[in-house]
Amino acid sequence: MTTTVPLTVRSVVPEAEGVLGLVLADPTGAELAPWEPGAHLEVTLPSGAVRHYSLCGDPADRSTYRLGVLREREGRGGSEEVHTAVGAGTTLGVRGPFNRFPLVAAERYLFIAGGIGITPLLPMLRSLPPGSWSLLYGGRSLPAMAYREELSALPQVTLVPQDTAGLPDLDGVLAGLPAGTAVYCCGPEGLLRAVEDRWTGPLHTERFGAAPGRDAGTGQGVEAGEAGEGGEGFEVELRRSGRTLRVEPGRSLLDAVREVVPGVAYSCEEGFCGTCETKVIAGTPEHHDSVLGEDEKASGTTMMICVGRSQSPRLVLDL
């Protein structure tokens, strides 16, 4: 599903303090597009705001999509709108599913969730044999931890409510992990950095926390880029379009490209959804996104044009 389609909110249920569960369905009852654990939807809210939410239901259920949305009073307003203006019967525009957080094959898995970061991990752990994984799930307090009833019944799950138990013991859980363990972590930036500092094995992350002034309910990498818009500006050649443009300071590369390629794909405009990923033919991109890994950024073969710029005076893109 690469175009936006209208889906109806079938029901809204509280999943925890400050967390609403949304169940979406096609208004005609048609089967929904398939997805795999780790996938997310791009959702256009009634106000026109676009947000990204992880799918947390059962991929085998093709009749509904389930989302969990944390209310962020200090966010950009998307989660506030979901909590105050979206109810059963509301129509939302939906694009996707997309998956930039896939579950890879591994002998064992350790899942580490912080707060609403539990949502993309739920379908992953439900899809695995019980003996192959464990989950460390930290939250502000027990009542604020979504899906805790389902999870607390499982012996391989450790719930860590911060108000009574403090912070999760990352050193303890990461020390001595068997070789071949894949670590998946989703939550706020501080949690991810703490895990990255302690674990050098395979690590799969998705950022859910909000930088100041951003919306943690959005789900996908909201710590991503502010476009670097200062400097001297640069030239960009759009090879397939046969056009060369100048990107002035204060203007994003995406904005410049849009004038020549009106249908260019983009969504979040903040460097976290991956929609605007573009192949670089020549020149050295300057990355400001949170989609690409360090190796991918260093290779310079692809970039997110919504926040990326150029280190070289000229950039040639496959557009």
Q: Interface residues with ligand FES (CB under 6 A)?
A: 266-269, 271-276, 289, 291, 304, 306
Distance CA 155, CA 149 (A): 13
CB atoms within 10 A of CB 166: 10
Minimum CB separation of residue 51 from ligand FES in Å reads 12
Q: Looking up tokens 């509280």, which residue turns up? A: 14
Could you give the dihedral angle defined by the CA atoms of residues 55, 61, 62 and 64, in that order, rounded to the nearest 10 degrees? -60
Minimum CB separation of residue 315 from ligand FES in Å reads 16
For 77, phi then psi, to 5°, come to 115, -10
Minimum CB separation of residue 214 from ligand FES in Å reads 14
Q: What is the DSSP string of 199-238?
A: --S-EEEEE----TTS-GGG-S-TT-PPP---SS-EEEEE
By C-beta, is 144 or 254 nearer to ligand FES? 254
Q: Locate 227 and state its tokens.
A: 């476009």
Report cis status (omega within 30 of 0) of the bond before 37. Answer: no
Minimum CB separation of residue 79 from ligand FES in Å reads 18
By C-beta, is 206 or 289 nearer to ligand FES? 289
Minimum CB separation of residue 14 from ligand FES in Å reads 30
Distance CA 38, CA 55 (A): 7
